[in-house]
Structure 1
Amino acid sequence: MTMLRRLALFAAGFALAGSARIHQVDAQSDPGAGQGARPVLIELFTSQGCNSCPPADALLGELARRPGVLALAFHVDYWNGLGWRDPFSSATATARQNDYARRLGKRSIYTPQLVVDGAADAVGSDRENILALINSARRRADAGPAIDIRTDDKGGRTVRIGAGDAVQADVWLAGYDRSHVTPVGRGENGGRTLTEYQVVRSLVRLGEWNGTAAEYPMPNVEAEGAILFVQPVAPGPILAARDLAG
């Protein structure tokens, strides 16, 4: 059963603690980048404190292995006072979910919620609905602006976003770990060992993008991998996305 938690919507913040391990993003050239339909980005809002979330976590792990799908799991922090503190939770994850609630006209937020391509949402364990939303997003998605990673002779890396339609958008870099296994000691999942996938460890705004080709310094990412995406402020439907192999 889906666990609903009514919360007041509040302004988004952009600070998310990273892990202690520091891995530089492997940004080798992808010959398919910027060609053809872009990948669909899916975002799961989840918590180790929610007993409805493990099936959604498992489904996200499955979907992340599918070609043309990029996946991120944002662990929210509003379950932390109910018996178990999720070690991957953050206020930024909750703020991002609230941003989507405003954008999608929701009066409350809940877990597990999955947002598809920044434009539609479903209960995170509702396989049939989620697959339909992904297929719909694929039909709508064009190539979007090209995302290229350039390396200078000193090893410094730069993100280049190509030209596109005029829009007020942000360029984001989300660091993620591919999987974590956690024994849960208390709360609704107390006594269980949870496996979670595509766990977001950092979220960094690289800058604005207005449709004109632009470049941004590439920071090191404190995670195993990273996904770079371009999204209108609000947030709105994803304009471009690329997984930077870690």
Structure 2
Amino acid sequence: MLARSLTALCAGAAALLASHAYAAAPRPVVVELFTSEGCSSCPPADRFLSELSDTRTDVLPLAFHVTYWNQLGWKDPFSFDAADARQAQYAQRFRDFAYTPEMVVDGKAEMVGSNRTAASAAIDHAKSMGVTAATVNATREGGRVSVSIGPGSGSARVLLVAYDARHVTPIGRGENAGHTLTESNVVRSLATIGQWSGTALTLHADAGAGEHLAVLLEADDGAIVGAARVADASAGSAH
């Protein structure tokens, strides 16, 4: 009986430590790629984003497929208007114009998405800065997601991103005709689910159309100041 109690106690302590370690882990650097299957310059950037997804858990890569290439021979099946709107916001902030492939790191630095040197340097800089306004934890259960944001300073929009892990698409027309593209972390929906103002906050929202979910905290100046992959309650682990 005593042995069983000690075993249960040790297991509970280990679970508590693991949970604490997960909550205390540094948040991932958010890397957004604005891309299109109709753009011949985009596949190298898509491959780079896939490599980040496959090899770096400290980075949250997200591929936003824009619509403005759709009239040039190939309609990207993953393009959606919210991707255009998000890139337009960045263009205004950076006093630049929308183009593909464009990569934005933590909402603060932008570069051509295939420029691995510039992107890697921006990721390393973001990691070294470690800007996190508040801890974010989120759990998905069925079609709903529960988000808990800790106390901190400042304010931020709370964004829920739904994305698919990977798609392989044969391209029939346009600049990439005849090629088969492999694309990772393809964003399917983006929604504002609340506003965080420095005090602890819990939100509940529909999960959105996508295999996986992530939560972002976006400050008024567009900087990403918090982020977390959403854990699956049934699996007990984050995507």
Could you state the TM-score of these two structures normalised by the residue count of structure 2? 0.83
CA distance 1:151–1:87, shift in 2 (3 Å): closer
Per-residue deviation, 1:142: 3.8
**Is the Cα–Cα contact under 8 Å of residues 143 and 206 in structure 2 kept in the other structure?**
no
Q: Does 1:158 align with 2:146?
A: yes
- Which consecutive aligned stretches of 4+ in structure 1 deviate over 3 angstroms post-superposition? 29-34, 149-152, 154-157
**Is the Cα–Cα contact under 8 Å of residues 33 and 148 in structure 1 kept in the other structure?**
no
Other-structure match for 1:99: 89
- Tell me, what secondary structure is at the counterpart of 1:111? coil
- Tell me, what secondary structure is at the counterpart of 1:63? helix
CA distance 1:193–1:156, shift in 2 (3 Å): closer
Q: Hey, what's the Cα distance between the residues in 1 that align with 2:44 and 2:32? A: 15
Q: Hey, what's the Cα distance between the residues in 1 that align with 2:81 and 2:140? A: 33
Q: 1:59 aligns with which of 48, 52, 69?
A: 48
CA distance 1:150–1:179, shift in 2 (3 Å): closer
Amino acid at match of 1:181: V
**Is the Cα–Cα contact under 8 Å of residues 37 and 142 in structure 1 kept in the other structure?**
no
Q: Does 1:232 align with 2:222?
A: no
**Is the Cα–Cα contact under 8 Å of residues 145 and 207 in structure 2 kept in the other structure?**
no
- Tell me, what secondary structure is at the counterpart of 1:215? strand
Aligned length: 214
- Tell me, what secondary structure is at the counterpart of 2:224? coil
Other-structure match for 1:26: none
**Is the Cα–Cα contact under 8 Å of residues 38 and 70 in structure 2 kept in the other structure?**
yes
Per-residue deviation, 1:30: 5.6
Other-structure match for 2:69: 79
Other-structure match for 1:174: 161
CA distance 1:60–1:73, shift in 2 (3 Å): same
1:1-246 matched pairs, under 5 angstroms = 31-65=20-54, 66-106=56-96, 108-149=97-138, 157-167=145-155, 169-234=156-221, 236-244=222-230, 245-246=238-239
CA distance 1:59–1:150, shift in 2 (3 Å): closer
Gaps of 5+ in 2: 1-17, 231-237
Gaps of 5+ in 1: 1-28
> What are the superposed Cα offsets for residues 52-102 of structure 1, whole Å, 9 maximum, x if unpaired?
000100000101231310010000000001010000001110110010011
More helix by share: 2
Q: RMSD value over aligned CA atoms?
A: 2.1
Identity %: 46
**Is the Cα–Cα contact under 8 Å of residues 33 and 147 in structure 1 kept in the other structure?**
no
> What are the superposed Cα offsets for residues 163-211 of structure 1, whole Å, 9 maximum, x if unpaired?
11122x2101101001101111110001111111100011121111111
Amino acid at match of 1:38: R
- Tell me, what secondary structure is at the counterpart of 1:239? strand
Could you state the TM-score of these two structures normalised by the residue count of structure 1? 0.81
